[in-house]
Amino acid sequence: MKEITIDGVKYPSISAAYRAYAVKGLPMVTVRKRLAAGWEAEDAFGFAPVLPQLRRNFKWVWRED
């Protein structure tokens, strides 16, 4: 198991942190992929996913031209 700290609270695993901290409606797989991509723990658990019908509207946010 991988210990994780969120807002100064240590959790014994990502699953335990997910049950205690994650935003409602956020899939566990999304949290794990965010953490693997290098997101900070608070951000990975705290941001709700963008709804599929809105994803194209957010495309400009991620572009770095």
Given a cut of 80, whether residue 63 has pLDDT beyond it is no
Range of the domain at 52: 4-62
Nearest to 34 by CA among 57, 52, 50: 50
Q: How many domains are contained in the chain?
A: 1
Q: What is the pLDDT of residues 6-59, one digit of tens each?
A: 889 999 999 999 998 888 888 899 999 999 999 999 999 888 887 777 777 665
Model pTM score: 0.73
User: What residue spans of the chain are helical by DSSP H?
Assistant: 14-21, 28-36, 41-46, 59-62
**Cα 22 to Cα 57: distance, rounded to the nearest angstrom:** 24
Nearest to 18 by CA among 50, 44, 37, 38: 44
- Output the pLDDT for position 46: 86
